[in-house]
Structure 1
Amino acid sequence: MDSISDIVRRLAENAEAVCRRYLSNGRREGRYWLVGDIRNAPGRSLYVLLSAAGDSRAQVGKWTDAASGEHGDLLDIIAASCGHGAMRETLAEARRFLSLPLPTSFGSRVPRARKTPAGTPVAARRLWAAAKPVGDTLVAAYLGARGIGVAGSGGSLRYHPRCYYRASRDDAPGVRSAWQAMIAAVTDDQDNIVGVHRTWLDPAGGKAPVACPRRAMGHLLGHGVRFGRSDAVMAAGEGIETMLSLREALPSLPMIAGLSAAHLAAIRFPQPLRRLYVACDKDPAGAGALKTLVERGVHAGIEIVPLVPERGDFNDDLCALGRARFADRLGCLLRGEDTARFLVR
């Protein structure tokens, strides 16, 4: 326990416990802990990897802030949380933390290993396989109420009639443990399913009345929900509904939904990509993701073109303007050759 590398390794072995202690305003989503920043502000800009799940390239305990571009390890998080001015203070605090038992929420006994650990790509693929085509289901009704047809999803969405929901500390007592859900496939550049995104739905309309109606699982970093095959010109944005709204007017333009501002900023650029339209939400997190992508695009030789909605996001614009006026506005934002090639009024 004397060397810094030993301490870093031990902290990584208890990454979720570290985050619960020092980034208490965040929450776990899939393999990541999401919070506003390294100083524990509420939000979703900073993400900490909690489990590698067989990915040899992933480093548990590493974090990135999509808004600022900062990154580091769990020692940095402890130092910022405690306001340390010297490394010896941080190492002393880390040693004190590692000498404590795990939080009581983890239980006193070691859980039995499951055949398929929760949150892994294998578990995600099993959930995808258990889901059904969208067809005439609650998913189609949910999207239709937002002005979106299912044709634009290109098979990336499915319906689950009874998807398990794990209640969080913010849920009301007795919240239901299963709801109908929209399941979206998270894929890599080779179209392999590496995760899924779940949106729990209320039969009465809209999302289910739970604290966290959206959650993702699997390998998310760098990947997303894809609509169409990768090409030289593409679009990327945060939400599934945002990108499907754009597909209403740009049905042949390949798109990726990154699922959050942090993950949008970290998407891997497909090999043929030369121009990327970024549909960023109209908030600080969206602006931060756009800034990061512009910087990455400069180094990769990729033109980044912002698409900024008039309202909060492009689904808000679609619902307010209607499809024809929505398409007209998009035509003013695209490069001329892309307007002629992709826009359908």
Structure 2
Amino acid sequence: MLARSIQQLVIELLPAGQRDGHEWRCGSLGGEKGQSLAVHLHGARAGVWADFSSGEKGDALDLVACCLYGGNRRDAMRWAENWLGLNTADSMAPIQRRPILEKVKTSELDKEAQQRRAKARRLWQETPAGIAGTPVESYLAGRGIDLRQLGRAPGALRFAPAVWCAEVQKPLPAMLAAICGPNGKMVAVHRTWLQQSPSGIWIKADLQNPKKVLGSFAGGCIRLWRGASGKALDLAPTGDVAIVAEGIETALSCAIACPEFRVLAAVSLSNMASMKLPDTIKEITIAADNDCGNPAARKALAAAIHQFTEQGRTVRLAVPEIEHGDWNDVLRNEPDTGHNGP
């Protein structure tokens, strides 16, 4: 009976597998993707299986036993009777299956995360350092951010002439920003796709999502400006003051206005509370956007303030007066900002 229902059984036992001709293929009895284990789906050999990597093999009942009960055929028989509807009085469940599936799922997610991180690092390494004379410098200047006022461009930014954009299914020019973890190693790349306007000015590309991150960046940030100390974030001296903003343009605007302070971009407001900062940074100014009418934004901002305060830091909140504006809007509306920023 199990053999006659083998097409349904393999989906139950080996959900990550896939049909390959007259067989169901997966990586092992754990059920992950792969080709090592094959189960016959039709004919006289329906239910017969073999794991070519481990040498294990058997029939449909053996498959239940090995997948769920460590090879115990007695427990497998009870489960099979329930699954086939032959014994409704016994509600025995496959208690060992859930941990296996969760382990497989976690393993696959970890593998995907590692692949995205590797792809992000490869993109960064293949892109020349420096943005002087590139469309990135032009784009930022169009946003009122003149990096010449800082004396140098942040090393966290690069220009890539062709970065694949899934939204339009073709490569586009992009500003890249390195997102680093607490140890200073890059964990993801932030991409801002750019386009040239008819007047020749570089602007954000006309896309539904012109900004995206490649890789997982929880707890990381974009290190845009080192402030007066000039030291890397993980080497920040005691008493260092940091300005934390959400986006790149807002953070650079703060660096222009207050170059003596360290400036970091959290990438997203929801990530701000997760940022890992050294204990030597005792004072933080959050350069928030003026979107207090957004309940989700208010909640995320409150979470960041609470988290930084719980860490024993002094936290100040700077919100521009411009309704639905940010500190880049302030910079562009105030030609001579001096040190009147956040």
TM range (shorter): 0.5 to 0.7
In structure 2, distance between residues paired with 1:120 and 1:218: 5
In structure 2, distance between residues paired with 1:290 and 1:313: 14
In structure 2, distance between residues paired with 1:150 and 1:116: 37
| Equivalent residues of 2:273, 2:308 under 8 A apart | no
- 2:305 matched to 1:294? yes
- 2:170 matched to 1:177? yes
Give structure 1 stretches of 5+ with no counterpart: 1-9, 15-94, 99-114, 168-174, 334-345
TM-score (norm 2): 0.57
TM-score (norm 1): 0.57
In structure 2, distance between residues paired with 1:155 and 1:149: 15
Q: Which residue of 2 aligns with 1:208?
A: 205
Higher relative CO (CA 8 A, sep ≥ 6), structure 1 or 2?
1
Report the count of equivalent residues: 213
In structure 2, distance between residues paired with 1:149 and 1:328: 15
Q: Which amino acid aligns with 1:200?
A: W
In structure 2, distance between residues paired with 1:160 and 1:116: 24
CA offsets per residue over residues 31-83 of structure 1, 9 Å max, x none? xxxxxxxxxxxxxxxxxxxxxxxxxxxxxxxxxxxxxxxxxxxxxxxxxxxxx
Residue 246 (structure 1) shift: 0.7
Q: Which residue of 2 aligns with 1:142?
A: 139
| Equivalent residues of 2:244, 2:251 under 8 A apart | yes
| Equivalent residues of 1:242, 1:313 under 8 A apart | yes
Q: Which amino acid aligns with 2:327?
A: F
Equivalences for residues 87-106 of structure 1 within 5 A: none
Residue 149 (structure 1) shift: 2.6
Equivalences for residues 189-228 of structure 1 within 5 A: 189-204=182-197, 205-227=202-224, 228=226
Give structure 2 stretches of 5+ with no counterpart: 1-11, 17-97, 102-110, 227-231
Determine what percentage of the aligned residue pairs are the same residue.
31
Residue 218 (structure 1) shift: 1.7
Equivalences for residues 1-345 of structure 1 within 5 A: 120-132=116-128, 133-150=130-147, 152=150, 153-167=153-167, 175=168, 177-204=170-197, 205-227=202-224, 228=226, 229-230=232-233, 231=236, 232-283=240-291, 284=294, 285-311=296-322, 312-322=325-335, 324=336, 326-330=337-341
| Equivalent residues of 1:188, 1:223 under 8 A apart | yes
CA offsets per residue over residues 243-289 of structure 1, 9 Å max, x none? 00011122231111011111123212323110011011111344333
CA offsets per residue over residues 74-123 of structure 1, 9 Å max, x none? xxxxxxxxxxxxxxxxxxxxx9xx9xxxxxxxxxxxxxxxx997862221
| Equivalent residues of 2:113, 2:216 under 8 A apart | no
Provide closer, same or farther for how the CA distance between residues 271 and 122 of structure 1 changes in structure 2, counting only shifts above 3 A. Answer: farther
Q: Which amino acid aligns with 1:135?
A: A
Q: Secondary structure at the match of 1:226?
A: strand
Larger radius of gyration: 2
* Aligned-residue RMSD, C-alpha: 2.6
